[in-house]
Structure 1
Amino acid sequence: MKQLTKAEEEVMQILWKMKEGMIKDILEGFTNKQPAYNTVATVLKVLKNKDVVDYKKVGNVYVYYPVITKEEYSSFQMKHLLKNYFGGSFTRLAAFFAKDNDMSLEDLEAMLKEEDTQHLK
């Protein structure tokens, strides 16, 4: 899997939420300033080349859909962050977030319990 740019991630966030859509549908998903139609079309082409988006032709329009889940990409991003910024150490990552967010031991324990609960599902 390849790293996505900010623009690519914005389009993916919309597609993950919608499950699938035409370019005009994706444009409507932007909450801030809407990019140009051609910009979204170009981003979708790049995402297709990165194998994270595909499309099907319905009549004379293309309907785009994500090939990877949001969870798969989130996992990839976290592993990338862990490896490149924390030397592969989850302890360093947790310590950084605990310090940066002024987390207490109780907060950390609750976070770990929540993660264990999510893992069991």
Structure 2
Amino acid sequence: MKQLTKAEEEIMQILWEIGEGTVKDVLEGFVEKQPAYTTVATVLKVLKKKEIVDNKAIGNTYIYSPKISKEEYSSYQMKHLLNNYFGGSFKRLATFFAKDNDMDIEELEFMLKESESKTNPKK
């Protein structure tokens, strides 16, 4: 899987929400300022090339749909973050978030227990 740019991720968030749609449908999904039609069309073509979306032609219109789920991409992103910024250590990641979000010890212990149960299901 390839890393998405901010623009690609914004469009994917909309596609995950609507399931499938035309360029116009994606444009309608923007809450803030809408980008140009041609910009969205170009980004969707790039996402197709990256094999993140698929499309089907209906007449002279394309309907785009995600090839990967939001959960799959989220998992990829978290693994990327964990490996590239925290040396693959969930404990270092948890410590960072605990400090950054002023978590109390109970919340931190819960996170660590959850991570242990996921990696060692027999515990």
Q: What number of residue pairs does the alignment pair up?
A: 118
- Residue type of the alignment partner of 1:59: G
Q: RMSD in angstroms over aligned alpha carbons?
A: 1.9
1:98 aligned residue: 98
| Cα distance per residue 1:31-77 (max 9 Å; x no partner) | 00000000000000110011100101123210000000000000000
Partner in structure 2 of residue 81 of structure 1: 81
Report the 3-state secondary structure (helix = DSSP H, G, I; strand = E; otherwise coil) of the residue aligned with 1:17.
Answer: helix
**What CA distance in whole angstroms lies between the structure 2 residues aligned with 1:70 and 1:41?**
21
Aligned match of 2:121: none
Give TM-score, length-normalised by structure 1: 0.90
Query: What is the TM-score of this pair, normalised by structure 2?
Result: 0.89
Q: Residues of 1 paired with 2:90 and 2:113: CA distance?
A: 16
**Distance in 2, Cα, partners of 1:59 & 1:73:** 31
Q: Is the 8 A contact 2:8 2:47 kept in 1?
A: yes
**What residue is the counterpart of 1:11 in the other structure?**
11
Q: Any unmatched runs of 5+ in structure 1?
A: none
- Deviating 4+ runs (over 6 angstroms): 113-117
- Structure 2 unpaired stretches of 5+: 119-123
User: Among the aligned pairs, what percent are the same residue?
Assistant: 73
Paired residue secondary structure (1:62): strand
User: Which SS does the other structure have where 1:63 is aligned?
Assistant: strand
Query: How many Å separate the matches in 2 of 1:69 and 1:97?
Result: 26
1: distance between equivalents of 2:105 and 2:59?
A: 57
Hey, what's the Cα distance between the residues in 2 that align with 1:110 and 1:61? Answer: 50
Name the SS for the 1:56 alignment partner.
Answer: strand
SS of the residue corresponding to residue 54 of structure 1 reads strand
Asked if 1 retains the 8 angstrom alpha-carbon contact of 2:91 and 2:112, the reply is no
Task: Give 1:2-81 correspondences, 5 Å limit.
Answer: 2-81=2-81
2-side partners of 1:64 and 1:98: how far apart?
Answer: 39
